[in-house]
Amino acid sequence: ENDQNTIYFLCQNENGVLNWKNCPGGKYLLEVFDLQGKRLMFQSASFEKGNQTFQVGLVALSAGTYSVRILDEKGIWLKQLFVKY
C-alpha cells in the first residue's frame, strides 16, 4: 500500500488548485508571495485526513510568477513556484 504524502499546487486561470494525496488532516495556512518575498494573500483551511482538493481564488493577482506555501504548526508542507498567465 502506498501511503506517501503527495501535495502540489496548480494555477488554472483565476483559481489555484491544491491537490493533497494522503493529507494528515488538521488546520493549515496557504500563503502566496511575490518573488521579492512580500506576502500578497493568505487563507486558512481545515482538511480532513485523506485525499483533498482545495481551490483558492487568484483573481486579485496579475500575470506573473509567484510562490505558494502551505504550513501548519509543525512546519512547511509545500513551497512551490507557480505562474499565472
- The pLDDT, as a whole number, for residue 1 is 47
Position 52 pLDDT exceeds 60: yes
pTM of the model: 0.89
Q: Which helix (H) or strand (E) holds 6?
A: strand 6-12
72-81 mean pLDDT:
94
- The pLDDT, as a whole number, for residue 3 is 64
- Buried-exposed string 4-36: b where 16+ CB fall within 10 A, e elsewhere: eeeeebebeeeebebebeebeeeebebbbbeee
11-15 mean pLDDT:
90
- The pLDDT, as a whole number, for residue 5 is 83
